[in-house]
Structure 1
């Protein structure tokens, strides 16, 4: 599926004709459009709705080609490679004719900002890419100011396509990386489109299943996406060694195609998306060492790289010639003595500071000893007080006992007197 890039470019186009028709600011006199497999020619109404209506205000021309891919389109059809060969011939002729219609000055330079725009859709984008490859090797190729290119759902511009050339005998076509050219090119890809956005890590089976669903729900709508609504973070620009720029637009998917295919998975959509996104290298986290390139310089390093304006002292223009001569002869100058005295003073200050520290430490030890003696005295005082209290309690008990004895004798005496009186 990934290598074939087979799509029914025209069969499903009618369902998305209601997409916004906002016009683009492209300067072009003619737009040449080549459709996908199963779409040998395109109706003008469909072309006017492409890319959010970006081609609605320019002259549009459909480039015919076989658009076949045996055995998928029929046992007697041309292979994909044979169809592309015919498409290359037809598109090249259409480009020459369109360039000839551009308005030019007497020196042959294009005027009024006119330009030819070539648009390839799905497998038709493979035809456009092969024309670019031929132009890169042609010294008489059109001027880069006269023509630009747009490829939508180009399966040859995926990360999974490596630098090696891969010939597929079934499709009779060799997949290879896109060429470097002087021409500005726009690459439009639908997120999770199985034909043009196959997972880089193909062993993630959930992502593969989602991409297969994306070939149904994402592939065709991508052709009608409005590029002005693509988030800035989904747009990247690359300039190659020949000066040609390639602007990539990744059309974000509102929902996972897998969830669209199986609505019962909706409660797990966030979980599935996290797993699926790991299959694409574009979602890999930024290496942790990158932020360090903008980190603050450590203080120790700052001291060694301080600017001369901050550290260097201005030369004293009034310095006597004698002093300069003395410095040259290695003699000690007044400034040297000052420095030496300062250093010596600093050493004395350090020694004095150490003596002060010793004194403070000694006083702290004396204070600690005094506090311990005070605590011992307080403890002894408490012990004496406790002993005095005990003795007082004992005397009190003894006095009460004596009193009770006296009272008892008095009672006995009174009782005896009373008895005698009674007798």
Structure 2
């Protein structure tokens, strides 16, 4: 290959200038020359140094002496209307090989150059790495590093299978197995490289489409190593010894909210639904749901400093109410003779009334007996008087006898009334 021819020519020329090079390096010190070879995406047929300089937060400019852009068609037209994506990539692989050889030729011992593919340009780099796997003169692992930005072929949606796209005349294939270290940089929700693998989640799909506008290009200008948290970084080493480090650059504001700002108040709930469209979030969402459930079950009312006095007052009131309630309960437990005097008074009144009724009955019986005795005595007196009188006296006696009988009858009537009186009184008392 070209790299083998270049190396043999380099040996011949190197013998001529070996002495001079040694003298110069000894006097002034060797100066390493490293290169960043970059290939852009669709619509970027060439990348000037001015364009490459700010990319990745200036990382390429800081770490390399030369910023070299690769020319390629950078088109993805339908077959028959221009360069298809497949045709553009074929041309891009050839041109990248030329720039790759030049960067390798400038490389000093112990140094490393970098190859970067942006968006569709990363597809060119992937296919170029497949060719390097069959090149015995390819650089060693320590001599070159690859960076793939917004690589659409490394999505879980493709399920690690080859898939031909007739519209682009290109076959998407699983990532190549290579001995080289690769940084894969993907902007979260970038519709060109981070489509939801659960495509039926319409909300996540709509957000990713918006991400193609608000994430895809802006993410290329950020220093991915500085802005990506460790939990968004994964490292996988294959059987050839190459380590692929994937950086999922977080997006602060949902692209859908950037597109429709009136959704800002609902961003938190939208994010949870959108994240559910990516299986990579399953563990995190499950953990968050469990944490939320636990927090709710353990949550207790908190008291602010401003409300401390009010709470203290409420506690004081509650204490007073409790004491009052306890006091009422204690009084309820006191025996009847201590807690109420009215029942005892009523019982005493009933006893006095019963005793009065009993005395009244005795007096009535005595009065009746006395009246009877008086009547008998009066009758006897009348009988003695009538024995010594004339007819007028007899009439008087008869008259007196009748009066006595009437008196006796009145007495009996009085006795009956007296007897009923106590009974009536007793009945009223009982009621």
How does the TM-score come out when normalised to structure 2?
Answer: 0.59
Coordinate RMSD, CA, aligned: 3.1
- Once residues 163 and 90 of structure 2 are traced to their aligned partners in structure 1, the CA distance between those partners, rounded to angstroms, is 17
Partner in structure 1 of residue 72 of structure 2: 65
- Select which of 99, 102, 105 maps to 2:107: 102
Alignment partner, residue 360 of structure 2: 404
Q: 1:276 to 1:402 in 2, by over 3 A?
A: closer
1:93 maps to 98
Q: State whether residues 33 and 107 of structure 2, in contact with CA within 8 Å, keep that contact through their aligned partners in structure 1.
A: no
SS where residue 174 of structure 1 aligns? strand
Closer/same/farther in 2, CA of residues 210 and 397 from structure 1, 3 Å limit: closer
Larger radius of gyration: 2
Report the counterpart of residue 151 of structure 2 in structure 1: 154
Sort the Cα spacing of 1:398 and 1:179 in 2 relative to 1 into closer, same or farther, 3 A: closer
CA, structure 1 residues 41+265, in 2 after alignment: closer, same or farther (shift >3 Å)?
same
Unmatched segments (≥5 aa) in structure 1: 1-26, 104-109, 289-392, 418-423
Q: For 1:195, what is the secondary structure of its paired residue? A: coil
Residue correspondences, number:
276
- Identify the residue that residue 379 of structure 2 maps to in structure 1: none
Of 245, 248, 258, which residue of structure 2 is paired with 1:247?
245
Distance 1:115 1:412 in 2: 149
172, 176, 181: which one aligns with 1:179: 176
Instruction: Mark the runs of 5 or more structure 2 residues left unpaired by the alignment.
Output: 1-31, 287-348, 375-431
SS in 2 for 1:151: strand
SS of the equivalent of 2:221 reads coil
The Cα shift of 1:222 comes to 1.5
Q: Which has the higher contact order (CA 8 A, sep 6+)?
A: 1
TM-superposition CA deviations, 1:307-345 (whole Å, max 9, x none): xxxxxxxxxxxxxxxxxxxxxxxxxxxxxxxxxxxxxxx
Find runs of 4+ consecutive structure 1 residues off by over 4 angstroms: 393-402, 405-413
Q: 1:410 Cα shift? A: 7.8
Contact 1:28 1:115 survives alignment (8 Å) = no
Paired residue for 1:144? 141
Rounded Cα–Cα distance in structure 2 between residues aligned with 1:53 and 1:199: 30
Compute the TM-score of the two structures, normalised by the length of structure 1. Answer: 0.60
Change (3 A) 1:37 1:401: closer
SS of alignment partner, residue 118 of structure 1: strand
Q: CA deviation at 1:402?
A: 4.7
Is 2:206 the counterpart of 1:209? yes
How far is 1:213 from its partner?
A: 1.1
The change in CA–CA distance for 1:125 and 1:406 in structure 2 (over 3 A counts) is same
Q: Give the match for residue 54 of structure 2.
A: 49
2:256 maps to 1:258: yes
| C-alpha displacement of 1:132 | 1.1
